Structure 1
Amino acid sequence: MSSEVLVARPHYDSRAVAQGVPVKDPHVELDVPLPASGLATAGYRSAKYSPAEWFSNYHAIIQQAGTDSHEADSIQRDSKALYQDTEAHILHSQAQTTRLLGERLQEIYYWKSELQHHIQHLLTHTETLLALKKRLEKALDATETTYAIATDNITCRTRRLGPDLVRDTVDEELEKEVDLIRSVQALLKRTLAQVVSQIKMNRAAKQMLELDWSDKHQAYKFDDQGGRYTNLSTDTQEHPSAAMQDQVCNITSWTKFTQDNLSKALQEEQASNSLRLLVERVLQDTTHDLRVQCSSVDRAFSQRCAEVIQAKTQLEIQLAQVLQQIGAQERNIVAVKQAIYNKEAPLRVAQSRLYLRSLRPNMELCRDDPQFSLEGELKQIDATLASLHQQLSRATGSLYHLEESRMTLEKDINCKAHSLFIEREKCMTHRKRYPTVSTLSGY
């Protein structure tokens, strides 16, 4: 700036000073006569510059001041135009950034809503699978009860006696039931393992969505806070290094990351839904199969009990008849023995008569009609006794066989009674504890 007054300095010749020649100022002329001040003012001057220098000096000052004013005015015009342009540009850029932040907030809110939507879906599917997991566990526990009942029935039926220890329809149905229960248990265990695995995958996908949602929530909060800043905000600060941060991704990879997470979540949701339908069908089918086989076993038991009861009834009827025959035969044996005993007196009489007649003397010892009659009577008695003894032997043998039949019938009746006790009191009573449809379904 030309705020200082430049004064022309006197010319100074260094060569003249070196030669000892007095130096005179060629530009300074004393037009004003020195005042007569006597010896007191000798050697002093009252003015240092000439009028020309004076005029030149202030004209230079005026010229410099004019130049400086013109330059200042130009700078002021340029500055005003510059700050007006920059102010408008900055305000436009700030408004553009605010608008872009608003659009970005809408985009973040959209994806955040999608993430929240799928997080809720995954949570619902996981809770459904957890409920199905409990049902599968309960159904698996219920099959342990059915397996214990079936194996106990088989074990109890091995204690049947003698001829009743047969491989009948009940045994076949019980073996089918045991095989069915084992296959059902294996199927339920595999299904349970699938459910547990799907729950883990759902939770992993849900965790990824929650992390993404949390990041977007923070980003939304930061962008929302930044979008609310204005030039009048008092909580803004200077951050010179904020513009030098490295960005980890672009908008394409950012969108793809969220879309991949949502695609994975949708895949797990579809898998969970398919698995849910599979578990429902498995529980329904296994419950139906177990109940159908249980009904088959129960029918076989009922049919077998009816057969045993019928056989026992027939045996009891036959036993009654045998007992009746034993009584009749015993009475018959008594009667035959009595008949044999009754023939002893006539035999003695006939023999005594023949003996006495054998004592007749000489010609009196003849074979007359009485002799023939006694001999015939004796033969008849002997034949009768032989027949009676033979009949007694047959009756005794018949009684022996009847007794054997009685013991066999009684033994078989006891066997049938024991079998009925096992079938009805042990097996069928135990089968009343067979789980219901709701229990087998896991409820």
Structure 2
Amino acid sequence: MSSEVLVSRPHYDSRAVAQGVPGNESHPQRELPQPSSGSATAGYRSAKYTPAEWFSNYHTILQQAGADRTEARGIQRESKSLYQDTEEATLKTQAEGTRLLGERLQDVHYWRSELQRHIQQLLADTESLLALKRRLEKALDATEAPYAIATDNLSCRTRRPGPDLVRDTVEEELLKEVDLIRNVQALLKRTIAQAVSQIKMNREAKQTLELDWSDKYQAYNFDDHSGRYSNLSPDTQHHPSSATMQDQVCNCTSWAKFTQDNLSKALQEEQATNSLRLLVEQLLQDTTEDLRAQCACVDRAFSQRCGELIEAKTQQEMKLQQILEQIGAQERNIVALQQAIHNKEAPLRVAQSRLYLRSLRPNMELCRDEPQLSLEGEVRQIDATVASLHQQLSEARRSLSHLEESRITLEKDVNCKTHSLFIERDKCMTHRKRYPAVSTLSGY
């Protein structure tokens, strides 16, 4: 066993050293008498502290306690000042956030109201366009009746008899009416396609506004709920990741521009719809007026043509009556001429018989005396008269033949005019009474 005795080291306080608290060198140590350890410790070094170490240890504890007390007071003063300042700043920041949320709610409400207004406007515009589209379709269907009437009139007029089969004013007006109806139908079809396209664009713009409105509705509810949170709200929780700035989040300028662009697009569609609506109204009015005006022109042409036919038919019937009367008179004249010729046969026989008998006179009695000359003159006169009567009879018969031809021609032409008048007045003009009214052509 070693003769050296282990002695415990004095207590060393590291906090005191770190805080600059002086150790036992700052206190003069008194020379204390070593206590007697008795006979049991004779010849050995004791393991107990020395009085100097004891004094050093409790002085160190006192000094450390004082330093800790001083430090604690300073921290308490700083903590009180800090939590007062942070409490005020937190309440101010929270109030500012609440105020900004309120302002944000006002902005969202404003834009949401604008979106709602334009959505309602687009909805009303779309409904009006749908009504106009139905009117256009009805107007297009209504043009089928005038087209059928015009084509039927042209078809009926081709069945007119030959002399009346002419390209007159009525036919020209009917051809104009057919071309006008075709042009109107093509224009109405193009306008219907334009209305369908505008309705589609209105619905797309309305859908865009509704999506934006829906987003703003949810955002408004979230911000409104957020604004109602307070420090006493029981449903608040910690969400550390929500305070992290996200890269894909837009800024206020792009947010407002997005809605403004949507509203601008909606406004453009509203203006386009209004222009199209005015165009359709004017178009229906113009086409209706044009169709009715052309119908009036055709009706006037038919009336004029019917008047011409009636006048011509009346004149021909009068002339036919005169011809019939003349034929009767000519037939009576022929009968009279024939009777006159027949009446000349007896005097001619008498004169010729007298001449024959006188030609039997004997010898010198056969002379050219006054009776002989008279009888010869009488025969010549009767022969000339009969020849003249035969010539007149031939002329009368030729005139009667011409009168018969004129009668036949007049009767045929009267029948032709009667048939043409039946086609023009009883078929075409009666059919044209079914021409659609202005309201029907306007799509109502």
- TM-score where L is the length of structure 2: 0.85
Q: Which amino acid aligns with 2:132?
A: L
- The aligned residue for residue 10 of structure 1 is none
Cα deviation 1:91-139 (Å, max 9, x = unaligned): 2111111110000000011111111111222222222222222222222
In the alignment, structure 1 residue 21 sits paired with structure 2 residue 4: yes
Query: How far apart are residue 26 of structure 1 and its match?
Result: 11
Aligned mates of 2:63, 2:361 — CA distance in 1 = 219
Aligned mates of 2:37, 2:309 — CA distance in 1 = 173
Q: Which amino acid aligns with 1:134?
A: R
Contact 2:157 2:424 in 1 (8 A): yes
Query: How far apart are residue 163 of structure 1 and its match?
Result: 2.1
Query: How far apart are residue 48 of structure 1 and its match?
Result: 6.2
Contact 1:129 1:272 in 2 (8 A): yes
Cα deviation 1:403-442 (Å, max 9, x = unaligned): 0000000111111111111111222122112221112222
- The aligned residue for residue 282 of structure 1 is 283
Q: Which amino acid aligns with 1:86?
A: T
- The aligned residue for residue 74 of structure 2 is 74
Q: List gaps (5 residues or longer) in structure 2.
A: 11-31
Compute the RMSD of aligned alpha carbons: 3.0
Q: List gaps (5 residues or longer) in structure 1.
A: 1-16
Output aligned runs, 1:413-424, within 5 Å: 413-424=414-425
CA spacing shift, 1:23–1:386, aligned 2, 3 Å: closer
Aligned mates of 2:212, 2:275 — CA distance in 1 = 26
Query: How far apart are residue 56 of structure 1 and its match?
Result: 6.2
- The aligned residue for residue 147 of structure 1 is 147
Contact 1:173 1:296 in 2 (8 A): yes
Q: Which amino acid aligns with 1:440?
A: L
Query: How far apart are residue 247 of structure 1 and its match?
Result: 4.2
Query: How far apart are residue 339 of structure 1 and its match?
Result: 2.1
In the alignment, structure 1 residue 442 sits paired with structure 2 residue 425: no
CA spacing shift, 1:150–1:239, aligned 2, 3 Å: same
- The aligned residue for residue 109 of structure 2 is 109
Q: Which moved more, 1:275-284 or 1:352-361?
A: 352-361
Output aligned runs, 1:25-424, within 5 Å: 31=35, 61=61, 63-244=63-244, 245-424=246-425
Aligned mates of 2:424, 2:138 — CA distance in 1 = 29
Contact 1:154 1:171 in 2 (8 A): yes
Query: How far apart are residue 29 of structure 1 and its match?
Result: 6.9
Aligned residues: 422
CA spacing shift, 1:367–1:222, aligned 2, 3 Å: same
Query: How far apart are residue 63 of structure 1 and its match?
Result: 4.8
Query: How far apart are residue 33 of structure 1 and its match?
Result: 8.6
- The aligned residue for residue 29 of structure 2 is none
Aligned mates of 1:207, 1:246 — CA distance in 2 = 28
CA spacing shift, 1:279–1:360, aligned 2, 3 Å: same
SS of match in other structure, 2:233 = coil
Contact 2:136 2:443 in 1 (8 A): yes
CA spacing shift, 1:25–1:146, aligned 2, 3 Å: closer
- TM-score where L is the length of structure 1: 0.86
Aligned mates of 1:222, 1:248 — CA distance in 2 = 16
Query: How far apart are residue 64 of structure 1 and its match?
Result: 4.3
Aligned mates of 1:246, 1:422 — CA distance in 2 = 85
Query: How far apart are residue 354 of structure 1 and its match?
Result: 2.6
Contact 2:105 2:224 in 1 (8 A): yes
Q: Which amino acid aligns with 1:143?
A: T
Aligned mates of 1:156, 1:183 — CA distance in 2 = 23
Aligned mates of 2:112, 2:85 — CA distance in 1 = 39
Contact 1:133 1:195 in 2 (8 A): yes
Q: Which moved more, 1:165-174 or 1:310-319?
A: 165-174
Q: Which moved more, 1:174-183 or 1:313-322?
A: 174-183
Query: How far apart are residue 75 of structure 1 and its match?
Result: 3.2
Contact 1:29 1:50 in 2 (8 A): no
CA spacing shift, 1:31–1:376, aligned 2, 3 Å: same
Query: How far apart are residue 370 of structure 1 and its match?
Result: 3.6
Aligned mates of 1:246, 1:218 — CA distance in 2 = 21
Cα deviation 1:225-247 (Å, max 9, x = unaligned): 11111122122222221122334
Query: How far apart are residue 189 of structure 1 and its match?
Result: 3.0
Q: Which moved more, 1:110-119 or 1:316-325?
A: 110-119
Contact 2:177 2:295 in 1 (8 A): yes
Aligned mates of 2:328, 2:70 — CA distance in 1 = 162
Contact 2:111 2:259 in 1 (8 A): yes
Contact 2:284 2:442 in 1 (8 A): yes
Contact 1:170 1:297 in 2 (8 A): yes
CA spacing shift, 1:67–1:156, aligned 2, 3 Å: same
Cα deviation 1:199-222 (Å, max 9, x = unaligned): 222222222222211111111111
Cα deviation 1:13-67 (Å, max 9, x = unaligned): xxxx74x234578999774897x9xx9xx9xxxx966777777666655554444
Q: Which moved more, 1:429-438 or 1:94-103?
A: 429-438
CA spacing shift, 1:137–1:94, aligned 2, 3 Å: same
